[in-house]
């Protein structure tokens, strides 16, 4: 999977309450950046955190539109803080990408390319900006792959599960 958790490899500490917001630069959304929150379970096996989407309550990973002045991996860490209350070290290189159709109200949808950055979770906050709007939960990667609807994201999670052995 690459660089999750290796601070010496150019990782950036995850965003928190003082994160730079920047001006919106994504428009209606053709590209987004996501965090793949990773941690070790009590048995030492890798876990992935999923959050529910606000509208449809589907299981997803934290993601958001580009923001001017914020690097893609930093944006991914900021979204993990806002959507799931997670703080950690984000890898500067994506571990994968997937496409999905973002619903814009009614029947209209636009295709979005999502780059996924690993986030080695160091802290789970008890309170965060979207706490009342989302549910968060840790899953084994294989289980998470069965819960997400985006095929490309499921592939990333299945590759993570296969790497675990």
Does residue 14 contact residue 89 with C-beta atoms inside 8 Å?
Answer: yes
Q: Which two tokens stand for residue 10?
A: 């150019």
Does residue 29 contact residue 4 with C-beta atoms inside 8 Å?
Answer: no
Tell me the mean pLDDT in the region 132-151.
97
Tell me the mean pLDDT in the region 118-132.
97
Evaluate if residue 149 carries a pLDDT over 70: yes
Mind listing the domains of the chain with CATH numbers? 7-164 (3.90.79.10)
* DSSP string for residues in 15-42: P-TT-----B--TT-SEEEEEEEEEE-T
pLDDT, tens digit, 9 for 90 and up, residues 2-57 = 333 333 334 444 444 333 333 334 444 489 999 999 999 999 999 999 999 998 89
């Amino acid at each position: 999977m690459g660089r999750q958790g290796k601070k010496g490899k150019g990782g950036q500490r995850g965003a928190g309450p003082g994160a730079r917001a920047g001006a919106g630069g994504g428009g209606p959304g053709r590209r987004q950046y996501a965090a793949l929150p990773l941690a070790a379970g009590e048995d030492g096996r890798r876990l992935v955190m999923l959050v529910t989407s606000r509208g449809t309550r589907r299981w997803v990973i934290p993601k958001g539109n580009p923001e001017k002045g914020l690097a893609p991996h930093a944006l991914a860490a900021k979204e993990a803080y806002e959507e799931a209350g997670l703080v950690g070290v984000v890898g500067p290189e994506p571990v994968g990408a997937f496409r999905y159709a973002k619903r814009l109200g009614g029947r209209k949808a636009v295709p979005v390319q999502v780059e996924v950055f690993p986030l080695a979770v160091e802290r789970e906050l008890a309170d965060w900006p979207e706490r009342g709007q989302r549910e968060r939960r840790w899953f084994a990667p294989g289980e998470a792959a069965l819960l997400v609807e985006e095929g490309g994201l499921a592939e990333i999670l299945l590759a993570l599960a296969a790497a675990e052995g």
